[in-house]
Amino acid sequence: MRLSFAIGDFARATHMSVKTLRHYHRIGLLEPADIDPDSGYRYYTTDQIPTAQVIRRFRQLDMPLEDIQAVLAAPDLGTRNTLIAAHLNRLEDALSRTQSAVSSLRELLEPSAPIDIEHRSVEATPAAAISEIVDVGDSLSWYQGALGELYATLDAQSVPVSGTSGGIFANDLFTHERGQATVFVPCDGPVRPMGRVTSLVVPATELATTVHAGSHVGIDRAYGAVGTYVTEHALAVDGPIREYYPVGRHETADESQWRTEIGWPIFQTSAKA
């Protein structure tokens, strides 16, 4: 015979509040074993304690209630484990982002060496390119996917790469979180349009530049440094930001080795030949 608890006793036994248990009943996550038809009192059995404990553990890991329902209703062990593994992977990704953010914040709190700024003239460059309107939240994954598509297209067409890949980002992408983004790979020879890939002559420009080492975590420090330099020296002109990727995912999977050059458009400061 299974022993039953009134809802208050079950709350004490499981460390779940009465309010929480009532909510779980309403959504069908943890239903009482019995409800008194006259009083409406809810009663739970001792057999339900392990289920309540599992739910509580999942909630401590921030698993959404609908995902917990899916785990509890899984038809077999394999399905259940797949659902749990997917959530654990999301937790690990979130932990990695948190650790990176903490590390970046500690660096901001500590004295750091000045960031070097240089001027660079860029000549007009034939390239294969992909250009689209993107949201700033999607821009990182978008540019990585676009670069992969560009390199694959050039390889498929046997067109040699002739320089460092890069990106051109409209001001709206920063000011309104949505705008034109273009990634390009310089190349020798014509590129046949394929998928999103088209030919582009990357315009000549004059840039104030600095190099950010590592992944894009903390890249805002490099942006802040070059923006400060340009403003203090009254060099700024209207125009999109440039990025160049001398070392990136295409060259190595080791993010610590990645290098991103930030280019801010400025007045022509070098003498023309």
Per residue in 145-188, pLDDT (tens digit) is 999 999 999 999 999 999 999 999 999 998 889 999 999 999 99
Quote the number of domains for the chain.
2
> Is residue 209 a contact partner of residue 117, using CB atoms and an 8 Å limit?
yes
246 inside domain: yes
Contact 184, 150 (CB under 8 A): yes
Mean pLDDT of the chain: 89
Q: CATH number for the domain including 60?
A: 1.10.1660.10
Reading the block at residue 78, the tokens are 């394999």
Q: How many angstroms separate the CA atoms of 103 and 186, rounded?
A: 35
Q: How many CA atoms lie within 13 A of 201 on its CB side?
A: 4
The answer to whether residues 166 and 228 belong to one domain is yes
Assess if residue 106 is contained within a domain: no
Among residues 56, 73, 90, the one where a domain terminates is 73
Residues 258, 135, single domain; the answer is yes
Is 240 exposed, middle or buried (CB count within 10 Å of its CB: 0-12, 13-18, 19+)?
buried
- Residue scoring higher pLDDT (221 or 269): 221
Asked if the structure places residue 214 within a domain, the reply is: yes
Q: CATH number for the domain including 193?
A: 3.20.80.10
Contact 207, 264 (CB under 8 A): yes
| Full residue range of the structural domain in which residue 145 is found | 118-265
Between the CA of residue 86 and those of 20, 65, 90, 231, 271, what are the distances in Å? 25, 15, 6, 46, 57
Our measurement of the distance from residue 98's CA atom to the centroid of its chain's CA atoms, rounded to an integer in Å, reads 12
What per-residue confidence (pLDDT) applies to 271?
A: 52
Q: Is residue 100 part of a domain?
A: no
